[in-house]
Amino acid sequence: MSDVLVLVDKADGGVKKSTSELLTLARRLGTPVAVWVGDGCDDAALALLGEFGATAVLVADVPVENPVAPVADALAAAVAATGAVAVLVPSTADGKETAARLALKIGSGVITDAVDVQADAGTIVATQSVFGGSTVVHSTVTTGIPVITVRGNSVAPEAAPASCEKRDLAVTLSPSSTLARITGTTVAAKGGRPELTEAAIVVSGGRGVGGAEGFGVIEALADSLGAAVGASRAATDAGWYPHQYQVGQTGKTVSPQLYIANGISGAIQHRAGMQTSKTIVVVNKDPEAPIFELADYGVVGDLFTVVPQLTNEIAKRAD
Ligand SMILES: Cc1cc2nc3c(=O)[nH]c(=O)nc-3n(C[C@H](O)[C@H](O)[C@H](O)COP(=O)(O)OP(=O)(O)OC[C@H]3O[C@@H](n4cnc5c(N)ncnc54)[C@H](O)[C@@H]3O)c2cc1C
């Protein structure tokens, strides 16, 4: 089987869950080979990559003073070294820019924000959700090998242990890759909750929450489930919750296993950011609210009555 490259996504020195998701998808297409850019590829990382089926990790120990350009150089070198038939990259802002730069370098087509990837009679087909989520598109690239960015939580990671060997990858940085470098970083203050775009469960609040203090019930439910908190634009524009938690067309795109929408009407711009969620639960006092069209489970009621009861029930089960 041909190699399929997976760019390892890292945070705080560890491997992010998105990498195990990409390895799970890569196994459908060929033999997964991970690409690690920078230092820190230790035994724990090797074991984790092997657990999800990586047969090798190519380590490009180049200085990562710019989060994108050297990574694209490293992936291009990995494509040349392996003759890979596809490259999978996480659909983060950096990942999408990396994918675009790589595609240009190797003369290939790029597909962004895929929510699924399959091999169909030898052709690699990506599924995207477009036009605010109203249309599902199946895409292939017609030139070169597919470079595909995949949204977080598009697939549940499945272990398939393989013996993973570490190999050095020689990379010559292109002159443009060293033109920009990071001179300082400020880590965003984050609480104990998971990152919004990576969380398996997202609990969101909208205008129905009624004010900043109303988000207390949303946060309590989120914490009982180990979930991230999201918000509609109505809530963030009103200053009730920070903008970085906005879900939708002009906010974050999430695709968790479970999305709980509270006091959100379901405008097309909000749906664009959450409708690929696997299970959608809606709490809204208006039975005609459009968001019920998306709901797997719906509760017609006042969120201030329903949500605390839900939180209590979950707390009882956790005891
Ligand atoms: C270019 C553009 C981009 C946009 N981008 C985004 C985006 O990224 N994300 C986004 O969310 N929006 C976006 N919007 C705004 C979007 O059109 C809607 O205005 C917004 O999503 C509405 O937010 P909402 O559902 O919280 O509020 P509303 O539409 O006002 O709905 C509130 C809901 O809460 C319910 N409710 C009220 N009180 C309670 C209660 N006590 N208990 C239970 N239910 C209650 C009501 O029945 C209602 O259904 C965008 C708009 C434009 C034009």
- CA 55 distance to own-chain centroid: 23
List, for residues 2-21, the tens digit of each pLDDT value. Answer: 999 999 998 877 899 999 99
SS3 letters for 73-140? HHHHHHHHHHCCCEEEEECCHHHHHHHHHHHHHHCCCEEEEEEEEEEECCEEEEEEEECCCCEEEEEC
pLDDT band at residue 129 under the 50/70/90 scheme: confident
Ligand 1 center–CA 257 separation, angstroms? 22
Strand positions, DSSP E, the chain: 3-7, 10-11, 14-15, 31-37, 56-60, 86-90, 110-120, 123-130, 135-139, 147-150, 165-168, 201-205, 228-231, 258-262, 279-284, 297-300
Cα 218 to ligand 1 centroid, rounded to whole Å: 15
For the stretch 62-75, pLDDT in tens is: 877 777 999 999 99
Half-sphere exposure of 24 (CA within 13 A, CB side): 16
How confident is the model over 39-94, as pLDDT tens digits? 889 999 999 999 999 999 999 988 777 779 999 999 999 999 999 999 999 998 89
Q: Which residues' Cβ are closer than 6 Å to ligand 1?
A: 206-208, 232-235, 246-251, 263-265, 267, 269-270, 273, 283-286, 289, 302-304
**Structure confidence at residue 176 (pLDDT):** 85
* pLDDT given for residue 115 in this prediction: 92
Of 30 and 181, the one with more pLDDT: 30
Cβ(281)–Cβ(259) below 8 Å: yes
On the CB side of 217, CA atoms within 13 Å amount to 22
- Whether residue 314 contacts residue 222, with contact meaning beta carbons closer than 8 Å, is answered with no
113 CA to centre of ligand 1 in angstroms: 24
